Amino acid sequence: QVQLVESGGGLVQAGGSLRLSCAASGRTFSRYAMGWFRQAPGKEREFVAAISWSGGPTYYAGSVKGRFTISRDNAKNTMYLQANSLKREDTAVYYCAARNAVVATTTTNYDYWGQGTQVTVSS
């Protein structure tokens, strides 16, 4: 079992930056692939970024590639999402997710989810 808690969301102007964190409980965090997803009002939850258990291979949605960076610190049981050059269309609730398997980019492949943190980008 893994419990996930996101933090770091907030209100930011377009062009600004935020750093989201996902703190995980459990001794086996380092064995889990992790991902960030987001859901805007009236839209389905969508993939943002994912990272392997080792922090090696990373994957990004085309809409955030070059602006967002996913990383993890297994010693701290924490995953991060550095979001730069934010746009209004990045406004959403951001969720972190974990799976005890190889990294994946679809919501249905993840077993554990946090409660989400709101990111609002104003113009």
Rounded Cα distance between 39 and 30, Å, is: 26
What percentage of the chain reaches a pLDDT higher than 70?
99
Span 10-35, pLDDT tens digits: 999 999 999 999 999 977 888 899 99
**Strand 92-99 vs strand 33-39: parallel, antiparallel, or unpaired?**
antiparallel
Rounded Cα distance between 25 and 34, Å, is: 13
Is pLDDT at 92 greater than 80 in this prediction? yes
Span 37-85, pLDDT tens digits: 999 999 999 999 999 998 889 999 999 999 999 999 999 999 999 999 9
10: alpha, beta or left? (left if phi > 0; alpha if psi -120 to 50): left
Rounded Cα distance between 68 and 63, Å, is: 9
- Single-letter code of the amino acid located at 63: S
Which helix (H) or strand (E) is 37 found in, with range?
strand 33-39
